[in-house]
Amino acid sequence: MAAETARQKGHVVCRVEELPPGERRIVEVDGRSIGVFNVKGTYYALLNRCPHKAAPLCKGLVKGLYTADRPGEYRIERPGEILRCPWHGWEFNISTGRSHFNPQRLRVRTYAVTVERAILPPDDTSVEAFPVTVEGEVVVLEA
């Protein structure tokens, strides 16, 4: 199955089992580079372009938020939900595209992602056909 197969409503990214939790896949859709992320079994997509200096944002480190109540002590909150730009370290919430330091004003474009049953091509009586089964699901980017 091609990663960029056009569909009526969206673009097939991959089979669900090809994008396990904590992983990402960067695809080209209509001339745009888009990162698709699996965050704990939920899929999100972001434009692969940091609004600061146009860095390839989706190639950055995925981590959590480091918080502290006092010096020398820290904890990690929301592990696997924060994307850090590889050029200047700006951080974005993968699920909303909003920046960590200025969420009301700075964000990255997000795209809807769904998981759908794989769709078989329509029957064509002019071609010899064989029984086929479809197992699993596919991740579809609504761009």
DSSP reduced 3-state for 59: helix
User: Domain map of the chain by residue range?
Assistant: 11-120+128-142
Whole-angstrom Cα distance, residue 13 to residue 66? Answer: 31
Whole-angstrom Cα distance, residue 53 to residue 35? Answer: 17
Written as tens digits, the pLDDT of the chain (143 aa) is: 444 343 446 888 988 999 999 999 999 998 999 999 999 999 999 999 999 888 999 999 999 888 889 998 989 888 889 999 999 989 999 999 999 888 788 899 999 999 888 765 555 555 555 555 556 777 777 76
Q: Would you tell me which CATH number, out of the four given (2.102.10.10, 3.40.1410.10, 1.10.3470.10, 3.40.50.450), belongs to the domain 11-120+128-142? A: 2.102.10.10
Looking from the CA of 95 toward its CB, the CA atoms found within 13 Å total: 9
Which residue from 103, 46, 58 is spatially nearest to 85, judged by alpha carbons?
A: 58
pTM of the entire structure? 0.75
Helix (H) or strand (E) holding 26: strand 24-29
